[in-house]
A and B are shown apart, each in its own frame.
Chain A
């Protein structure tokens, strides 16, 4: 009796001890970012001090009242959400096709899809730049003397980034969903079809509900990857479609890095994704099984 109580107490303390230790380690950098965001530029270069001396919000108000910042934030939200939705739909269709149909060279297609995520991005910027500015270019569309479009290019547009981010998000999403959809017994599809459901019906009433956690996690992770992307956004946008991560890099200038505002902006950009993840905690774990749930 006493030994088991002792054991339980011991276990209690180890569990919490480890978790508190891990929490401190995890939070330390974020805490420091928060502290920095509350400091003036002079204070920052005084002796390092991990304590928060006061609430000083000017960095935040500077960032939040900046109209460019608001535009960047909107762009980021549009691009990540658009990309996540697109990826979710396309990946569901593609994975379903790979899972249910006997397509010639299925395994090779699957592997090729994945290799798209492996390319080192730097060298690919040049062809993408040329493609965005030259290939996808509409000089003019005029209908009944009304000029609808003039000199439009994919460069510096939200849709350009939404499509481009598919290159690294789709492979990931398809992979993640592959296990999930493979895990749904094919007999369920057949039963639905016998009941008269078409392809869309099967997707809608069988696959969608059963793969919901997987889809949710796909969308969330795609959203986060898109939200955090920097290199493509920095090079393939100019003024209109710039995202929030490019704004972070702008704080580093020849006349000094504005660390306080950089930290403030980092804190702000952290908030939307943190909210999503907190709301969707359960699904994330349920959806990330990569097909290990096969019964």
Chain B
């Protein structure tokens, strides 16, 4: 009854667009990654150099450092977003007057363009015009300068990301929570489970697909983050994430060959990370079917 050919036909526009604008550039980047190519070098054009670029990046401290920073950023930011987003969503499942107003306000950061987010946070935290360092200094005598202390720069970008993306997590969690059937929760309560037990044994298993999917999406986006951190701190110490490092190698340095090979490796690492999560998600849904 269902001819696969019809299926392919329905899928084809999507495949065509993604192959042209996604896969073809990927092949180009992959190819360049195996060449030495800097526009401003003494020799013109691409020179095939095999795995040299990849060998170079294994010993490139700046690159390795940037990967470490990116992972740390992703873990801190996404971890906080999940916890915070879950708690807020939990509170939104209850009814109380004014709920929709709070919900709308809480969704606002999601609407702000990343580049504007970076600009706002820069305006908040740079001494001289930012209120944050001013009041921290005045009230707590705390020296807050993201240009001087890399850890503060890192922390600020985490907070900025939490501010920007927690609303998204809250919304998906809320959707997940509202879809949990009532009976198992009631049943567990009747059986004498306390709130923590209900959460652990009933809510969490139901929420798992949504939770993992949210984490998956956030990881993909957090690893690619460029605009907002660029605007906030320019990718200085503490915030030189892989996305920004690649940008610097490809543009000001015009080292297309090396930049391409770093991109390929970063993409590969992201895919591996996400594949593991993907297996976790689809593995779970198989259990449910059985």
- A26 with B163, Cβ < 8 A, contacts A97-B8, A117-B220, A120-B242 known: yes
Q: Does A15 contact B (CB under 8 A)?
A: yes
Q: Does B275 contact A (CB under 8 A)?
A: yes
* Closest chain A residue, CB of each to CB of B228: A230
Q: Does B202 contact A (CB under 8 A)?
A: no
Q: Does B145 contact A (CB under 8 A)?
A: no
Q: What per-residue 1/0 map shows which CB atoms of A83-121 lie under 8 Å from chain B?
A: 000000011011011101111100101010111111111
Among B2, B11, B24, B223, the residue within 8 A (CB) of A131 is B24
What are the residues of chain B within 8 A of A116 when measuring CB–CB?
A: 18, 22-23
Contact B25 A124 (CB under 8 A): yes
Q: Does A278 contact B (CB under 8 A)?
A: yes
- A93 with B10, Cβ < 8 A, contacts A102-B4, A118-B270 known: yes
Q: What separation, in Å, do the CA atoms of A62 and B15 have in the docked complex?
A: 44
Q: Does A210 contact B (CB under 8 A)?
A: no
Q: What separation, in Å, do the CA atoms of A130 and B28 have in the docked complex?
A: 10
Q: In whole Å, how far is A207's beta carbon from the nearest beta carbon of chain B?
A: 11
The B143-198 residues at the A interface (CB cut-off 8 A) are 163, 167, 171-172, 174-176, 178-180
What are the residues of chain A within 8 A of B256 when measuring CB–CB?
A: 123, 126
Q: In whole Å, how far is B63's beta carbon from the nearest beta carbon of chain A?
A: 12
What are the residues of chain A within 8 A of B11 when measuring CB–CB?
A: 93-94, 97-98, 103, 109
**By CB atoms of chain B within 10 A, which of A32, A122, A172 has the most?**
A122
Q: What separation, in Å, do the CA atoms of A107 and B174 have in the docked complex?
A: 27
Contact A122 B243 (CB under 8 A): yes
Contact B25 A128 (CB under 8 A): yes
Q: In whole Å, how far is A223's beta carbon from the nearest beta carbon of chain B?
A: 10
Contact A270 B112 (CB under 8 A): yes
- A121 with B120, Cβ < 8 A, contacts A101-B2, A290-B209 known: no
Q: What separation, in Å, do the CA atoms of A190 and B105 have in the docked complex?
A: 43
Contact A30 B178 (CB under 8 A): no
What are the residues of chain B within 8 A of A33 when measuring CB–CB?
A: 116, 120, 123
Q: In whole Å, how far is A108's beta carbon from the nearest beta carbon of chain B?
A: 11
Contact B171 A123 (CB under 8 A): no
What are the residues of chain B within 8 A of A90 when measuring CB–CB?
A: 13-14, 17
Q: What separation, in Å, do the CA atoms of A167 and B220 have in the docked complex?
A: 14
- A111 with B8, Cβ < 8 A, contacts A163-B21, A266-B113 known: no
Contact B174 A285 (CB under 8 A): yes
Among A16, A111, A171, the residue within 8 A (CB) of B275 is A111
Contact B104 A97 (CB under 8 A): no
Q: In whole Å, how far is B156's beta carbon from the nearest beta carbon of chain A?
A: 12
The B258-290 residues at the A interface (CB cut-off 8 A) are 259-260, 262-263, 266-267, 270-271, 274-275, 278, 282, 285, 288
The B197-218 residues at the A interface (CB cut-off 8 A) are 206-207, 209-210, 213-214, 217
Q: What separation, in Å, do the CA atoms of A123 and B268 have in the docked complex?
A: 14
Q: Does B96 contact A (CB under 8 A)?
A: yes
Q: What separation, in Å, do the CA atoms of A205 and B288 have in the docked complex?
A: 29
Q: What per-residue 1/0 map shows which CB atoms of A151-193 lie under 8 Å from chain B?
A: 0000000000001101100111011000100000000001001
Q: Does A127 contact B (CB under 8 A)?
A: yes
Contact B10 A128 (CB under 8 A): no
Contact A118 B267 (CB under 8 A): yes
The B1-50 residues at the A interface (CB cut-off 8 A) are 1-4, 6-11, 13-15, 17-18, 20-26, 28-29, 32
Contact A120 B267 (CB under 8 A): yes
Q: Does A77 contact B (CB under 8 A)?
A: no
Give 21 CB contacts A-B under 8 Å. A19-B98, A22-B106, A23-B102, A30-B112, A94-B15, A103-B4, A117-B220, A119-B224, A120-B223, A121-B224, A122-B246, A123-B262, A127-B25, A227-B113, A230-B115, A249-B115, A281-B103, A281-B107, A285-B178, A290-B175, A290-B209
The 4 lowest CB-CB distance pairs between A and B, nearest first, are: A101-B7, A123-B263, A127-B28, A97-B10
